[in-house]
């Protein structure tokens, strides 16, 4: 397998990120959510205002393999993991763990003392493995469809002197 590289996301990546977002939800999250929930959730790819805001206002980190995006993670305000997806064909290859390490390092660099995320049922085991704890189960309503997700948190030690792995 080729070496995975990491880079910052730009507006030029928007279509690839939207496709990865939809593909992952429709193939990986189907085990935990109904067809109706999957359809509503994946329709979030159509909200161009949101995607533009994510790519211009958040720290966006992308994993690349053979010139294709295989995963991405975003950090809002230095402390909130907003979007975190790995391509359906690259699950279980430690891409998420590597993305997470970079994101946590960036949060530390930004002098954050904790990370938070609203996590799907599908992603919850990964976040637990990364050291997060569940604050509460939540019911979220999108387009009149209810979803269960989890508010999760992880305390970290800030370090303004750390570098983000040379990115």
Q: Where are the domains of the chain?
A: 5-155
pLDDT digits (tens, 9 = 90+) for 1-42: 578 999 999 999 999 999 999 999 999 999 999 999 999 999
Predicted confidence band of residue 153 (pLDDT cuts 50, 70, 90): very high
pLDDT digits (tens, 9 = 90+) for 72-115: 999 999 999 999 999 999 999 999 999 999 999 999 999 999 99
Write the CATH number of the domain with boundaries 5-155: 3.40.630.30
Kindly report the backbone phi and psi dihedral angles of residue 160, in degrees, each rounded to the nearest multiple of 5, phi listed first: -65, -15
Kindly report the backbone phi and psi dihedral angles of residue 145, in degrees, each rounded to the nearest multiple of 5, phi listed first: -115, 130
Contact indicator for 70, 86 with CB cutoff of 8 Å? yes
pTM: 0.92
CA 17 to chain centre: 11
Contact indicator for 150, 124 with CB cutoff of 8 Å? yes
| CA within 13 Å, CB half, 123 | 25
| Model pLDDT, residue 148 | 96
Return d(Cα 156, Cα 131) in angstroms, integer: 10
Flag whether pLDDT at 167 surpasses 70.
Answer: no
Distances (CA, A) of 69 to 7, 90, 138: 10, 10, 31
Quick one: DSSP state of residue 90? Answer: G
| Model pLDDT, residue 161 | 56
């Amino acid at each position: 397998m080729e070496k995975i590289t990491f880079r910052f996301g730009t507006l030029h990546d928007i279509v690839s990120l939207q496709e990865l977002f939809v593909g992952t939800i429709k193939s990986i999250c189907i085990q935990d959510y109904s067809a109706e929930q999957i359809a509503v959730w994946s329709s979030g790819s159509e909200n161009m205002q949101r995607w533009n805001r994510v790519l211009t206002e958040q720290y966006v980190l992308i994993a690349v393999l053979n010139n294709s995006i295989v995963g991405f993670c975003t950090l809002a305000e230095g402390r909130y993991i907003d979007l975190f997806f790995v391509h359906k064909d690259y699950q279980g290859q430690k891409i998420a763990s590597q993305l997470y390490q970079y994101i946590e390092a960036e949060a530390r660099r930004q002098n954050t003392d904790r990370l938070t995320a609203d996590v799907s049922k599908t992603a919850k085991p990964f976040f637990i493995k990364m050291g997060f704890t569940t604050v509460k189960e939540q019911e979220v309503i999108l387009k009149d469809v209810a979803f269960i997700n989890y508010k999760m948190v992880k305390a970290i030690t800030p370090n303004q002197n750390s570098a983000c792995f040379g990115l």
